[in-house]
Amino acid sequence: MKAVLFICVENSFRSQIAEAYFNKYAPEGWNAASAGLTPAERLHPNAVKLMLEEGIDISHKKPQLMTRELQEKAHVAVIVCSGSLCPVVYVKHVEVWDVPNPAEMPLDEARKIRDLIKSRVLELIERLKSYEEG
């Protein structure tokens, strides 16, 4: 099984959404995990609400610490946060998406960030499929 690791600071919003979308639409043989540098106590309530709108329940998920073990398992790491707090990772293929933090945004604005993450995840999946086929 090949793995994608989505990373942000608290692992409570952006990276959790990206992980959920990836796992819903993942190509065969791939799965995703997510982690953060300083994990929050729980998921952001708006992340749960926004994903329920998409028919995906992430309410059972818990933010987790980014560890060396998670990095070693990953074939691709995607840093979804923006700014100087974003981590350095030790994975062969790293992408930086620089997604604004929706945690303090009104729900309508956060919904736009969710949709941006979804489109980027779907683009990543298509690239992975092309790579596997080519």
Which residue in 14, 10, 5 sits closest to 70, CA to CA?
5
Which residue in 97, 61, 65 sits closest to 78, CA to CA?
97
Q: Is 123 annotated as catalytic?
A: no
What is the distance between the alpha carbons of residues 112 and 103, in angstroms, rounded to a whole number? 12
Catalytic residue among 81, 117, 124, 128: 81
Q: Is 86 annotated as catalytic?
A: yes
Catalytic residue among 5, 8, 18, 77: 8
Q: Is 115 annotated as catalytic?
A: no
Which residue type does 91 have?
V
Catalytic residue among 26, 58, 86, 116: 86
Residues annotated as part of the active site: 8, 81, 86
